[in-house]
Structure 1
Amino acid sequence: MTRLLGKGEYLQIYILTLLRLIVTLCIMDKKEAISILKNLSAGITSLLLILFPLLFLTNASDVFTFPKEILVLIFTIALLIILCLKMVFESKITIRSNPFNLPLVFFGVVVLGSSLVSRGFYDSIIQALPLISLLFLYFVVVNSIDNASSFNLLSYSLILGSVLSALVTLLYFAKIYIFPFPETHSRYFNTFGSTVQQAIYILPILLISLFFLANLIKNKVANYELAIFSLSSLFTVLSFAVLIYEILVQKVVTLPFMHGLQIAFASISQDAQRPLLSLILGSGYGTFVTDFTRFRLPSFNLERDIWNLTFFNSSTFFFELIATTGILGIVSYFYLIQKVLKTRLKTINILHLSIIVLLIASFLLPFSFTSLFMLFMLMALYVSYLYLHKSNNVYNVTITLVALKQGLINVVEAASGHRREKESKVLPLLVFVVVIFVGGFVGYYTMRFLISDLAFKQSLAYVSSNNGQKAYDLQRQAIDDYPYRSDYYRVFSQLNFALANSLAASIAQKDSPADAQQTVVALLQQSINSARQAVVISPLLAANWQNLSQIYRNLINVGQNADQFAVATLTQAISLDSSNPQLYVELGGIYYQFKQYDNAQNQFQIATNLKRDYSNAYYNLGHTLEAKGDFSNALAAYQIVRNLSKNDENNLKKINEEINALTPKIQGQGETAEQNLQEEQANNPVTEQQPLQLSSPSANTLPTGPSPMKISPPPSASEAAR
């Protein structure tokens, strides 16, 4: 992928667009300029509400959620600038006071605070900023709607976007593929990437549509609104039914409720390294994946179909808030709920009811960014409804900078009477300048993040097509554009090692050109450095330490102390994912490679204890026992593997061959083996198993040389903590 714009050009476009807008408005009449800004804000918000549920990018690493987050960030910055510019022309700052302002500010401060003190800061802040942008979007919408026409425009836009996404779901379910992208040609495709999340998003729109349709029919009103709500009701009801059907048929995988509950409270009570911070602010918003690996119990391995999966979301949004934002996060969330319940009207209001339905859903289901978007937009529309209906709970507060005896800042209710003081544009200008700089900063890094993500995703396509050079260039570009994602470094380290291995294989050892040898060494060093950087950026992610260990393991006999580094880094990975039997098998494989059979046996036995039906652990244990000469127990382990592999033809054939080869070696050792086998068969039912294989390093053709090359050690504890 070629770079469309240079890094500085984004800022140039941003500044020039602002200047043109300001100059254009300055030559207009004041009232006309304010009117244009109001209409522009309403139009942009309307476009956002329509596009949001429909947007996806097949060339992004996260096809569905990530583009929506970028869309909200960019549109929110634009809307904030327009709102502040309108305040400059009005020479005052008008803020709409409402019951939700303080709870949402409290919630946003807690989310941001949890990210700032998180040990996974970079991972957390990437997730927190889109949520913070939703809070600002709520603020903009609430302070922009001042008449019925703008309220209706945004309400219909929210409904239209949802209905269009529902229509896409129905068309694809009928195998009518309207998008030209081959990867979308599936009957179960939707623009959310998740049937559960689309069902959550559509549910309040379904309730709103049915409510207004029933009222129109009851009052015998026949106009365009009847047609609108009839169609929206039809499409949302049908799509919701289809989504429920798909959820049941596909058996959508979510973290079991009890495991989500256990991890939530373990996260805030069992973090020995920072007990107080974890209790108060959790692990950091958006970092549930590290909570899952660190605090899940060994009993999770009893879940046959999902034991080897990694969950990035908890069972429910509420449990995820407990784990990632701690006590303060839960207090702020309950504070918001209390305010929502307190603002109910005497008559049923469908917006209020829809908000309550989503809040209830947050205690039962996992929420993604799309669900939170719907929740905050419904809250913004409900507050606007209260304002338009003259509720005492919602009113304008004007802040001006005037020369008063009481001071420079004057705060009054807009309806409290006329002020004779001359208003000043200084305070609105100050706020406008701050928003421009902060918006420019956030927008700049957002665009860099977007471009880097697109480049990284394209590099993976080149990896699949074996175009290593192009993949290398694109991944290097992605890291240069946004050097704060551990995923980039982890994959880049693997690519560098693969390229070094491939280059070494293409060079004859006896006549290797010096420059080619230097290139191999440089690629290996870069592979290690990239894997180390992934660990530094996300020190609590077990996958990063596991990847670094694999790089070191592949360099045993090539790099100095690679064996020690491999053990040390994998031990650290195990400390962050102690209930994962696969890591113990991998560590046992390293010891097996060193012929340290007692250590290897110990690791494989831990793996079998963690998961009693894990055939690959027994397979590796059997080979270790066979290498030690303990043939009877080796046979017992192999027979357990055979019992677990009855439904896997390839595994069964492989283990039968090994049993047949081992049986002649056994003389008089079978009684103990038979007893062990009977005990294990009683405890281990036949389950679906992974392919049998010995834990071993990747095949490589790296030159060993007369002496191992010097390689960088793993990051120290203090370096990883930074």
Structure 2
Amino acid sequence: MEITKLIRNIEKYILVALAGLFALFVFPKFASPFVVPKEIFGAVAVSTVLVLWSVRSIIKRESTFSVGKFDLGVLLIALAYVVAAVVKTPNKMEAFFFPGTVTFVIISAIFYFLVNQFGRRTKNLILIALFGSGILLTISILFTQLGLFAKIPQLPDFMKNSSFNPVGGALPSALYLVTLLPVGIALVIKEKDLAKRLFYGVASVVIFFGAALLTINLLPGKPQALIFPSLLTTWAIVIETLKTSPVWGMGPDNYVTAFNLFRPISYNQTALWAARYATANNYYFTLITEVGFAGLAAISVLLIGIYRAVVAGFKQKNWEIASLALLVVLFAIFPSAPVLFFLLMALLAVFSKSEEKSVSLATNRVPTAIVAAPILIGVVALAIFGTRAVMAEVTYKKSLDALGSNNAKDTYTLMAQAITQSPYVDRYHASLAQVEMAIASSIANNKDLTEEDRQTITQLISQAINEGKATVTLNQGRSANWELLAQIYQNIMSFAEGADQFAIDTYTQAVALDPINPNLRIGLGGVYYALGRYDDAIDIFKLAALAKPDLANSHYNLAIAYGEKKNYDSAIAEMNTVLTLVAKDSPDYTLAKNTLDALEKARPATPAAAGSENLTPPQKQETVIEPPIELPEEATPPAATP
């Protein structure tokens, strides 16, 4: 029937367009203009094709599904990610929306299966579309380097940035282009038409130039230089994760939790000690950490299939399959990205010989409408929930724009609206909590507080605590969420009864989830110091110094606490250690030297920290509001889950 042919052609061109534009698709209305738009574009494209496929099947009264060589591996990886997200990832919105690793995996896997329903001619179009995306990506990179985008006033600000490229980072862009180079070379070798061969040759040179330019920018000393933890650090995290959760890992998009819990203490001796990473230094380690042995088994099945296909392809002189082999090798060296995983699935679809086998999914006894119904229901559900999530992200971006314009009212209103639209995103709650605390602090600093001011402050503090608690509830395993709640309690200790113990409880939980982080222990020690519990403060500051012996601030805080206990010998020893750790020409050195002189004169009071850069002494709390505000019962922090 002509209508079914038309629908099939529409399906084909949507898939070709998705292959060619996925890596390039950006949109300025989101806080992450590189990731979320690609997710939306991919979801809309594959959903549209699924609906068209269902309609075509109903019209034909028949459903057929072609089987490819990599089907089992692709299906296992998709299932592993989905199950791990459901079972292990605490905040499902992270896994399914932003960063949305699971959704990208699902989109890419569905794309693979959809492309497999077409023959070799369509797959060649997909391959050429991918190669074309590499050309366009290189052109955009060259435009950025030449400053051409910056000269177009109509473009959004993020496109005028000197490091802009549509993929969202120099490393994934470089890997994307390098992977496509064998495709270009193979096209040059195979093409018989001289004009086309010349075009592919020039295009390959352009892509090579773009990849080389990006690679140069990634070299040490460059602004976009690669900075990742060592292989030993990420391997230690993999092993400890498998000991804790062997089957499903920590859950997709939850690598940072494993990083906080399991990185070795030797990491604190590196220049990266304060950085928290959301990925390992290669894709396979990230996969195993997040999806466990289930992910390892799935990728092993897929890699075996890829190895066999590559060997067979080389024997048949299908040189373009080298791009697939190159990509899986690059995954062993570098971290992945949504664009790269999509590229992997696209290449698998292109090189899968799916036309050889076909299996019927419906007969006259089973109406095709029943087969199509789950697909249509799934697409409708995705449209409903996805629309709300997208609207919330757009609103959140507006709130950040208002924040950049110092418009506190709109910032507060829009963030609250984003939470109403999508209440399960912890970063929305975290942002609103910080905004509410900033507004409350601004009001509290007024000289003459009215009763209305006190009520407003109380309301803002209560709301900030609730938002902080929401971040913890949405992801209790995330140390940063507990740290945020602890800082809220710490900031209101001077005028809110009961906040001191809440600060201790929440800091303690943050430390438990990030045990070698010295800054968290300094924060907890600062709470004890503010309460006059100097022995407890000393114990905590000691642990901070043990976690990172070369961190001057740990020793400085410990010296101050010793001074309060009149243990001047220990205080002087710690302050001398500080002097060996800070530059002699810095304000920190002057501060430490003055404090040392004061300690040597047995003076308990220490000089003010004016002019200090990195040394932050613990602060005693002064009452800002009289009488103190009494926190409501619901201000109690949530209990930590074991």
TM over 0.5: yes
**In the superposition, relative to structure 1, how do residues 156 and 602 fare at CA in structure 2: closer, same or farther (>3 Å)?**
same
Q: 1:488 aligns with which of 394, 408, 428?
A: 428
Instruction: Please say if 1:169 is aligned against 2:131.
Output: no
Q: How many Å separate the matches in 1 of 2:396 and 2:430?
A: 12
Alpha-carbon deviation of 1:300? Answer: 0.7
2:260 to 278, 290, 293: 293
Task: Provide the rounded CA distance (Å) in 2 between the counterparts of 1:628 and 1:450.
Answer: 55
Alpha-carbon distance in 2 for matches of 1:359, 1:399:
32
Q: What do the CA deviations read for 1:373-411 (whole angstroms, capped 9, x no partner)? A: 10000111112xx356xxxxx322222222xxxxx46xx
Q: Indicate how the Cα distance of structure 1 residues 707 and 520 shifts in structure 2: closer, same or farther if over 3 A, else same.
A: closer
The answer to whether the Cα contact below 8 Å between 1:166 and 1:236 also exists between their aligned partners in 2 is yes
Structure 2 counterparts to residues 124-139 of structure 1, below 5 A: 124-126=95-97, 127-139=101-113
Contact 2:476-2:640 at 8 Å conserved across structures: no
1:182 paired to 2:157: yes
Taking structure 1 as reference, are residues 83 and 709 closer, same or farther at Cα in structure 2, changes over 3 Å only? closer
Q: Is the 8 A contact 1:459 1:470 kept in 2?
A: yes
Which residue of 322, 346, 351 corresponds with 1:382?
Answer: 351
Indicate if the aligned counterparts of 1:554 and 1:698 stay in contact, CA closer than 8 A: no
Contact 1:279 1:327 survives alignment (8 Å) = yes
Match of 2:182 among 207, 220, 235: 207
Give the aligned partner of residue 422 of structure 1: none
Residue number in structure 1 paired with 2:386: 446
Residue of structure 2 aligned with 1:65, choices 15, 18, 35: 35
Identity of aligned pairs, percent? 23
CA contact (8 A) 2:123 2:349 kept: no
Hey, what does 1:674 align to over in structure 2? none
Are residue 75 (structure 1) and residue 45 (structure 2) matched? yes
Question: In the superposition, relative to structure 1, how do residues 450 and 331 fare at CA in structure 2: closer, same or farther (>3 Å)?
Answer: same
Per the alignment, do residues 400 and 665 of structure 1 end up closer, same or farther by CA in structure 2, a change over 3 Å counting? Answer: closer
> Which range moved further: 628-637 or 465-474?
628-637
Cα distance in 2 between the residues matched to 1:563 and 1:474? 31
Q: Distance in 1 between matches of 2:250 and 2:591?
A: 45
What residue number does 2:491 align with?
554
* Match status 1:326 vs 2:274: no
The structure with more radius of gyration = 1
Q: Give the superposition deviation at 1:635.
A: 2.3
Q: Say yes or no: does 1:347 pair with 2:294.
A: no
1:508–1:710 distance in 2 versus 1, CA, 3 Å? farther
Provide the aligned C-alpha RMSD in A. 2.3
Give the whole-Å Cα distance in 2 for the aligned partners of 1:717 and 1:581. 21
Tell me the equivalent position of 2:441.
Answer: 501
Alignment of 1:210-289 (within 5 A): 210-216=185-191, 221-223=193-195, 225-248=196-219, 249-250=222-223, 251-269=225-243, 271=244, 278-289=245-256
Secondary structure of 1:282's partner? coil
Partner Cα separation in structure 2 for residue 706 and residue 579 of structure 1? 35
Query: SS state of the match for residue 397, structure 1?
Result: strand
Shift of 1:662: 3.0
1:46 Cα deviation after fit: 2.4
Shift of 1:187: 3.7
Instruction: Report the residue type matching 2:262 in the other structure.
Output: F
Secondary structure of 2:133's aligned partner: helix
Question: How far apart are the structure 2 equivalents of 1:73 and 1:507?
Answer: 54
Q: Return the match for 1:196 from 171, 179, 191.
A: 171
User: 1:85 & 1:458 partners in 2: Cα distance?
Assistant: 38
Q: Is the 8 A contact 2:531 2:620 kept in 1?
A: no
Letter in 2 for 1:295: F
Task: Tell me which residue corresponds to 2:131.
Answer: 159
- Answer yes or no: is the 8 Å Cα contact 2:91–2:424 preserved in 1: no
Inter-CA distance 182–657: structure 2 relative to 1 (3 Å threshold):
farther
Out of 651-660 and 593-602, give the one that drifted further.
651-660
CA contact (8 A) 1:260 1:314 kept: yes
Residue number among 119, 130, 136 corresponding to 1:146 in the alignment: 119
CA deviation string 1:246-295 (max 9, x = no partner): 110342112221111110111110x2xxxxxx111111122111110011
1:113 counterpart letter in structure 2: V
Change (3 A) 1:153 1:32: same
Of 161-170 and 444-453, deviating more is 444-453
- Residues 556-578 of structure 1: CA distance to partner in whole angstroms, max 9, x if unpaired? 24334211111111111111000
Hey, what's the Cα distance between the residues in 2 that align with 1:700 and 1:491?
26
1:684 aligned residue? none
Whichever residue aligns with residue 177 of structure 1, its letter is F
- For 1:138-191, what per-residue CA distance to the aligned partner results, in whole angstroms no more than 9, with x for missing partners? 111211x2362x334322221111210111112222333366333443443322
Deviations, residues 56-105 of structure 1 (Å, cap 9, x unaligned): 23442223223212221121111111122121122111111112112211
Match of 1:594 in 2: 531
Q: Secondary structure in 2 aligned to 1:279?
A: coil
**CA 1:119–1:699: 2 relative to 1, 3 Å:** farther
Structure 1 letter corresponding to 2:203: S
182 and 632 in structure 1: CA distance in 2 versus 1, 3 angstrom threshold:
same
Quick check: 1:604–1:621 contact (8 Å CA) kept in 2? yes
| Corresponding position of 1:362 | 331
Shift of 1:699: 9.1
Q: How does 1:81-160 map to 2 (within 5 A)?
A: 81-122=51-92, 123-126=94-97, 127-143=101-117, 145-146=118-119, 148=121, 150-160=122-132
What SS does the corresponding residue of 2:6 show, helix, strand or coil? helix
Kindly tell me: are residues 706 and 563 of structure 1, through their superposed partners in 2, closer, same or farther at Cα, counting changes over 3 Å? closer
Q: Distance in 1 between matches of 2:600 and 2:425?
A: 52
The alpha carbon displacement at 1:648 in A equals: 6.0
What is the alpha-carbon distance in structure 2 between the residues aligned to residue 707 and residue 172 of structure 1?
A: 55
Q: Are positions 1:576 and 2:513 aligned together?
A: yes
Task: Measure the CA separation in 1 of the matches of 2:431 and 2:623.
Answer: 18
Distance in 1 (alpha carbons) for counterparts of 2:621 and 2:339:
40
For residues 258 and 707 of structure 1, do their structure 2 counterparts lie closer, same or farther at Cα, with a shift above 3 Å needed?
Answer: closer
Displacement after TM superposition at 1:632 (Å): 2.8
TM-score (norm 1): 0.82
Give 5+ residue unaligned stretches, structure 2.
605-611
Question: For the residues of structure 2 that align with 1:42 and 1:474, how far apart are their CA atoms?
Answer: 40
SS at match of 2:144: helix
Shift of 1:369: 0.8
Question: Does structure 2 retain, via aligned residues, the 8 Å contact 1:121–1:284?
Answer: no
* Count of residues in Structure 1 that have an aligned counterpart in Structure 2: 622
Question: Which amino acid letter does the alignment assign opposite residue 599 of structure 1?
Answer: D
Correspondence for 1:715 among 614, 635, 638: 638
Q: Which runs of 5+ in 1 are unaligned?
A: 1-30, 272-277, 389-393, 403-407, 410-425, 668-688
Task: Give the partner amino acid of 2:555.
Answer: Y
Q: Which residue of 1 aligns with 2:561?
A: 624
Q: Is the 8 A contact 1:449 1:481 kept in 2?
A: yes
Structure 1: how far apart are the matches of 2:619 and 2:112? 53
Q: Distance in 1 between matches of 2:392 and 2:203?
A: 38
TM-score normalised over the length of structure 2 = 0.92
Q: Distance in 2 between matches of 1:596 and 1:301?
A: 28
Is the CA contact (8 Å cut-off) linking 2:525 and 2:538 kept in structure 1?
yes
Deviations 1:233-253 (A, max 9, x none): 021110011011011034211
Taking the aligned partners of 2:12 and 2:81, their CA distance within structure 1 comes to 28
Residue type of the partner of 1:158? L
Deviates more, 1:78-87 or 1:445-454: 445-454
Counterparts of 1:55 and 1:476, CA distance in 2: 29
Tell me, in whole angstroms, the C-alpha distance in 2 between the residues paired with 1:191 and 1:380.
Answer: 24
